[in-house]
Structure formats: C-alpha cells, structure tokens
Amino acid sequence: MSGAEETGLPRWETPRLKNLTSWDSDWAGLRVVVAGIGASGFSAADTLIELGAIVVVVDAGATEENEAKADTLRIVGARQVLLGADHAESLPLVDGEQADLVVTSPGWRPSQPLLAQAAAAGVPIWGDVELAWRVRVREGRPTAEWLTITGTNGKTTTVGLTEAMLIAGGKRAVAAGNVGTPILDVIRDPQGYDFLAVELSSFQLHWAHSISPLASVCLNVAEDHVDWHGSYEAYVAAKASIYERTRIACIYNVEQRDTETMVEEADVIEGCRAVGFTTGMPSISMLGVVEDLLVDRAFIQQRKDSAAELASISELGDVVPRHLVANALAAAALVRAAGLPVAAVRDGIRAFQPGDHRIQVVANEDGVLWINDSKATNPHAASASLSSFPSVVWVAGGLSKGVSYDDLVKDNAKRLRAVVLIGQDPTPLQGALARHAPDVPVSSYPSLHTGFGHDGSGSPDPVSGDALMQWVVAEAARVARDGDTVLMAPAAASMDQFSSYAHRGAAFMAAVRARGGQGTIAKEF
C-alpha cells in the first residue's frame, strides 16, 4: 500500500508532496523520475534540478538531439539520464531507492510500462503542468492568474486571441502550455506575469490534479485521441477536468450541450459562474452575436436588458467562418472574467496574428481558391473547414488515430466535388466516402507508402512527402472548376508521411506555388 493510500490522500499525493505548494517549499532531496526529454520533459527536469530534487531522466529515443539535451542536464546536475527503449520499460531507482514522484511528458500514455509500474507501486505521477502550478508562487515575484483553454479544436487560436486581448488591456501576459512555450519556462521568467493564457491538451489534463484557474473553457469536444486515452469517455473526462476548482467563471459552448454538462458536473470554487458563448443571439449570462457584432451579456451590470458591444465580426478577417467567431467569443469571455474592459477585446482582435496552417490562403487563381488547413488533424476540425466553403476539392487522409469518418463525410457530402486522398492507409476514409458520398470522384496516389521528404526524418521508400504533394496538387488542379476551393483539411494526423502537420502544410503550399501560383498573403478566416 502506498503512502497516499495509507493517509487517505489521492493517488497523486503523499504527505510530503502535499506540502510542495510553492517554489520556496522544501524540494531538496525529493527523488524524481522525469519521463521524456522533449521540450516539456527537459523543462521539468531543469526546474526540478534547480529546486534541489534528485533527478533521473528517461527517454526511449537515443537520438543525437536527445544526447545533446542529456549532456546539458548532466552538466546542470541530473543524477542520471537514461536513453534507449530498454530504459523506458521499467521505473528506475533513484540513488538506489524507489522514486517519490514521476513527472511525465504529456505524450506518454498511462499504459506505457514505466508509468504503469509507477502507478502499480503507488508512486504519484504528475505532468509538467501540475509541477508548474505547484511552483508558480515564488517570493519576490508576482503570481500570475491562469486562464485555461482546452477543446478538440480551436485551442491555439483561442489562446492566441486571449493573449492578444490581455496585452491590449495593458497586462503582462503570455500564451503557454501546449501552444509551444513550456509552461515551466514561463513560470521561471524573472519578471513574472499578470496572466497566463494556458492551452491544455487532454494529455496534459490527464496528469494535472490541483490547478485552480481564474477562468476556464472547453471550446468543444469530439472524437479524438481515443488511441491514447483508451476510450472516448476517458477523453471527454480529461477535457471536463479543466473546469475543476475554477474560481470565477466556467465558460462553455452553448451550441454543444456536452460542454455545459461538464460545467454542471464540475466541482468548482463557491461563487464561480457558468457563462456561455454562442454564435447566435445571447441570453443573459452569455456572449454572442447580434447582427454583425460580438456582444457581452454576462459581464455587465444591466445584462437583463442590454449588451455591451465588443467588436465587429469583420475585424476578425475578410471571410469569417462560424468557428472563428466562437473562438473569439470564448477568448473574450475569459478576459472579461478577468476584469478586462471592452476595449481590450476589440484591440486584441485587431492585433491578433493567426498562425500558419490554419485555414491559410495559399493562392487564388482562375477562380479556384487554394486553402491549407493542415492543422485540421481530426474529423471535427475538418468539418469546421469544409462547412466554410460551398464547393470543395478535398485533400484528406493520414494517421486516423482510431476515429470514425462517417459523420464527417455524411454531413459534408453535398459540398464535395472530388476527394484526393493522402495517408499510408486510406481505408477508413475510403470506406466512409463509399457509404455516404458514393458519387464523389476519389483519387489516391498509386503507392501511398511515402517517406517524409528532405526536411523530415527520412524513409527507405524513394517517394517523398514532397513528391506526394506535387501529385496531390496536380490532381486537385485537374478536377477543380471555377468557384471551387481546393482545401487540404486532412482530418488526420501527419506522422505516417510527414514529420508534423507543419511539414505537411509547407509541402502543400510549396507544391501549389511551384505550379505557378504566387498566392495571396496568408491569413486565417
């Protein structure tokens, strides 16, 4: 029986860990295994070493990059760095004794042998986000308030909008977490921040246990990452945990009942409000749309019979799909819960610069619009893209992650002129297309077993991902007609043929431009 079980503490806690609630707590001598040496794992190990913990780092990949990181961690004081697949198969001892704690990188599944052994032995497991929450309070520095964002889709856009609004409101703020900057690197900034806009994946939420944000939102939820969580129910439960212990406002999507149910079932701090957002007309305690305006009926005194104008939809871009409006409203709700004025929302929207590979215009030639939405890595995201255009040549496929494509194809069949398939295993999409869009022409590369291309990790197959995209663009151009949109919204992950969704998107854009199109300035609708 573990120490946690003996004292009635939850499985992620022990009597000693319970007292580790600030940077200035007594971390010295704590025996910690850090699982993973990627960005978050490296940051966690570096932080723990600085705190005085005894740290052993494990990663299955004995790559040149990992060896360089290992050398750095050894220099700063890691007790051991163990690289190679064999080391990830069991929980290592720390100075000859069982670890007090495992801090895992978010990509490691609960079923991974090292983590499974730790859980069976009663060793608490935290993620880097949990560690960041524990050390966020530090004497002599401001303690940032956290605004937390999750959802199957739209997280990065919403986090970016939230950051832009906070900065426009005069706050020292930064986007962190799953968005790219390891949250522990942000926590350790010597100046500190007023607010953190924290993007949290379902993986990170699974390993986070005590976060108590000022305000939180789950933008939406749809089938994704079933392979990691083991079931859709477990995935939804991880997403729902973002609302636990929220203090001021739980923001939910009025148009998706599941997110409202999450709020209803969450154990929040007394006085916390439920605030909805909708792309339709808002009721009391909601943000929404009136004509072409984003409005607030939640954070104003006279919300029973009036609304505060936040911004016009046109300020989001030239053509604005519904899901971008929803993302902007969710971000607005978060910063309004944090006490920011209306002007901060408007000025933040105007200042926001969207990232690449998110409904990005590549070219507009001969009446055909070419769009790169490589970030659409699941059916829910792809459906949001498809619904934005009336007639589509759809470039789709990749690593399916165990999801179903039936609803996606059924809901969008009428707008499909043709489909061009990528992905080493096109069978899941082919089946859905045959069942729900049997009259839509479908093309696939003669041999889909392609490699990564010149900027990926390589493959023994002579056909590169770049060559694949050249064929894709040629095939799409052959079938596209005036008024069509060639939309790459794969509804799948990229790692079977590309090193990342960004590599996939870059290959698509390069192939489009290589055939003669210079494109327009990239933007997100």
Q: Could you tell me the domains of the chain?
A: 3-131 (3.40.50.720), 141-351 (3.40.1190.10), 360-514 (3.90.190.20)
Q: Which residue has the tokens 């060793």?
A: 123
To the question of whether residue 21 is assigned a binding role by annotation, the answer is: no
pLDDT of residue 351: 93
Q: Write out the DSSP string of 102-156.
A: EEE-TTS-TTSHHHHHHHHTT--EEEHHHHHHHH---TTSPPPEEEEEE-SS-HH
Over residues 335-359, the mean pLDDT reads 91
Reported confidence tier of residue 516, pLDDT bands at 50, 70, 90 = low
pLDDT of residue 462: 39
Over residues 405-418, the mean pLDDT reads 96
To the question of whether residue 152 is assigned a binding role by annotation, the answer is: yes
Distances (CA, A) of 137 to 72, 188, 223: 27, 10, 36
The predicted-structure confidence for 85-124, as pLDDT tens digits, reads as follows 999 999 999 999 999 999 999 989 999 999 999 999 999 9
Over residues 388-401, the mean pLDDT reads 92
Helix/strand/coil (H/E/C) assignment for every residue in 159-214: HHHHHHHHHHCCCCEEEEECCCCCHHHHHCCCCCCCEEEEECCHHHHHCCCCCCCC
Confidence check: pLDDT of 282 > 80: yes
On average, the pLDDT of the chain sits at 90
Q: Which residue has the tokens 């080493």?
A: 424
To the question of whether residue 483 is assigned a binding role by annotation, the answer is: no
Reported confidence tier of residue 178, pLDDT bands at 50, 70, 90 = confident
CB 386 within 8 A of CB 379: no
189 C-beta neighbours (distance < 10 Å), count: 13
Confidence check: pLDDT of 43 > 90: yes
CB 301 within 8 A of CB 310: no
Kindly report the backbone phi and psi dihedral angles of residue 478, in degrees, each rounded to the nearest multiple of 5, phi listed first: -65, -40
Reported confidence tier of residue 224, pLDDT bands at 50, 70, 90 = low
CA 24 to chain centre: 31
Instruction: Select the highest-mean-pLDDT range: 171-175, 463-467, 501-505.
Output: 171-175
CA-based radius of gyration for the chain: 24
pLDDT of residue 445: 78
Reported confidence tier of residue 35, pLDDT bands at 50, 70, 90 = very high
Reported confidence tier of residue 225, pLDDT bands at 50, 70, 90 = low
CB 13 within 8 A of CB 20: no
Confidence check: pLDDT of 394 > 50: yes
pLDDT of residue 425: 87
> How far is Cα 196 from Cα 345, in angstroms, rounded to an integer?
16
> How far is Cα 110 from Cα 508, in angstroms, rounded to an integer?
35
pLDDT of residue 353: 80
pTM for the full model?
A: 0.80
Quick one: which of 289, 252, 250 has its CA closest to 270?
Answer: 250
The predicted-structure confidence for 121-132, as pLDDT tens digits, reads as follows 999 999 999 999
Kindly report the backbone phi and psi dihedral angles of residue 389, in degrees, each rounded to the nearest multiple of 5, phi listed first: -135, 140
pLDDT of residue 453: 44
Kindly report the backbone phi and psi dihedral angles of residue 57, in degrees, each rounded to the nearest multiple of 5, phi listed first: -110, 140
To the question of whether residue 151 is assigned a binding role by annotation, the answer is: yes
Reported confidence tier of residue 345, pLDDT bands at 50, 70, 90 = very high
Order of all β-strands in the sheet with 80-83: 80-83, 54-59, 31-35, 101-104, 125-127
To the question of whether residue 192 is assigned a binding role by annotation, the answer is: no
To the question of whether residue 156 is assigned a binding role by annotation, the answer is: yes
CB 245 within 8 A of CB 223: no
To the question of whether residue 153 is assigned a binding role by annotation, the answer is: yes
Least confident residue range of 489-493, 500-504, 517-521: 517-521
Confidence check: pLDDT of 525 > 50: no
Kindly report the backbone phi and psi dihedral angles of residue 59, in degrees, each rounded to the nearest multiple of 5, phi listed first: -150, 140
Confidence check: pLDDT of 449 > 70: no
CB 417 within 8 A of CB 481: yes
pLDDT of residue 158: 96
Distances (CA, A) of 242 to 85, 102, 104: 33, 22, 19
pLDDT of residue 495: 86
Which tokens in the block code for residue 431? 């089946």
Reported confidence tier of residue 523, pLDDT bands at 50, 70, 90 = very low
Amino acid identity for residue 139 in this structure: E
Q: What percent of the chain has pLDDT over 70?
A: 92
CA 496 to chain centre: 20
Amino acid identity for residue 478 in this structure: R
Confidence check: pLDDT of 461 > 50: no
Quick one: which of 119, 109, 103 has its CA closest to 43?
Answer: 103
